[in-house]
Amino acid sequence: MSEILVTGATGNVGRQVVAQLLATGTAVRALVRDPERAGLPEGVKAVGGDLSEPATLEEALKGTSTVFLIWPFLTTEGAPAVLEAIARHARRVVYLSSSGVNEHAERQTDPINQLHADMERLIEESGLERTVLRSDTIAANARGWAGQIRTTHVVRGPETAATAVIHERDVAAVAVHALTDDGHVGATYVLTGPQVLSRAEQVRTIGEAIGRPVAFESVPVQVAREQMLADGRPPALVEALLASAETRPASNLITSTVEEITGVPARTFRAWARENAEEFR
């Protein structure tokens, strides 16, 4: 069996995909910028390459049949060349997209959803077999609050629409099925957790997990912008995130897709908070 290539292999979802593929006995290869510092489990073949430089992907793609693709940029510039490189070696892509994508809309509600919609279109046009995983907010994003929680017990940020937050392990579990089973070719799956939660509810849940009260304090977008820029985030990313906070519509969508595909109900955010409590203490 040829190897499966995982991009974003050192990130929250990609690392889980690698670990779960290994657990099934699948031969897995991880695309990383620096193989020596990747810190991946034994049995993974870490190969150097960078999605921003398509010419660096050729060696990583040799001998692969399927690619798990996370697109880490804010534009699709370079994506056609990457997909051409993939198509020269592999036959299938499993792409991590967003549950906010509305395939019937001419334009999406915010830049991040528009990016994912554009990537889905490019993958469809590439001729590769494809499976699209439209994930809701990933629980691991809450790690971005850890510093504030540890030091002030208050999370300050812009309010945004509540969503059915999903554990990254569940996203990865569905991805593994899609990567290893031909029955998912052509499918688009919307993946959510079992409960719609606001940011305030997520923060309170983390507080319960660590055994002390933690509060969420909503701040105006301009204040959030100034703080995010002061923290060193790239201006383009700041604007994309704030646009999402301002324009993304409320959603009560909860799907049963995780259980239907994996046979196990989606994990709660409470379970995620308990698993990761030490990061917030």
Asked if residue 241 is part of any domain, the answer here is no
Reported in sequence order, the residue ranges of the chain that DSSP labels E, i.e. its strands, are 3-6, 28-32, 45-48, 64-69, 92-98, 129-135, 154-157, 163-164, 188-191, 196-197, 215-218
Give 254-273 pLDDT, tens digit per residue: 999 999 999 999 999 999 99
- Summarize the confidence of residues 190-212 as an average pLDDT: 97
Asked if residue 202 is part of any domain, the answer here is no
**Cβ atoms 99, 135 nearer than 8 A:** yes
Q: What residue numbers bound the domain in which 127 lies?
A: 3-136+167-192+253-264
pLDDT value, residue 145:
94
Check which CATH number belongs to the domain holding 82 and give it: 3.40.50.720
pLDDT value, residue 56:
94
CA distances (Å), 45 to each of 6, 173, 263, in order? 10, 20, 29
Structural domain count of the chain: 1
Lowest average pLDDT, out of 81-95, 131-145, 221-235, goes to: 221-235
Residue 7 predicted with pLDDT over 90: yes
Residue 21 predicted with pLDDT over 60: yes
Give 111-149 pLDDT, tens digit per residue: 999 999 999 999 999 999 999 999 999 999 999 999 999
Asked if residue 238 is part of any domain, the answer here is no
pLDDT value, residue 1:
56
Asked if residue 270 is part of any domain, the answer here is no
Asked if residue 23 is part of any domain, the answer here is yes
At residue 128, φ and ψ (nearest 5 deg) are -70, 145
In this prediction the pTM is 0.94
Residue 2 predicted with pLDDT over 90: no
Asked if residue 225 is part of any domain, the answer here is no
- Summarize the confidence of residues 77-83 as an average pLDDT: 97
- Summarize the confidence of residues 186-211 as an average pLDDT: 97
pLDDT value, residue 72:
94
Dihedral sign of CA atoms 151, 154, 160, 164 in order: positive
Of the two residues 154 and 230, the one the predictor is more confident about is 154
- Summarize the confidence of residues 4-15 as an average pLDDT: 96
Asked if residue 117 is part of any domain, the answer here is yes
Asked if residue 185 is part of any domain, the answer here is yes
At residue 156, φ and ψ (nearest 5 deg) are -110, 130
Rounded to the nearest integer, the mean pLDDT of the chain is 94
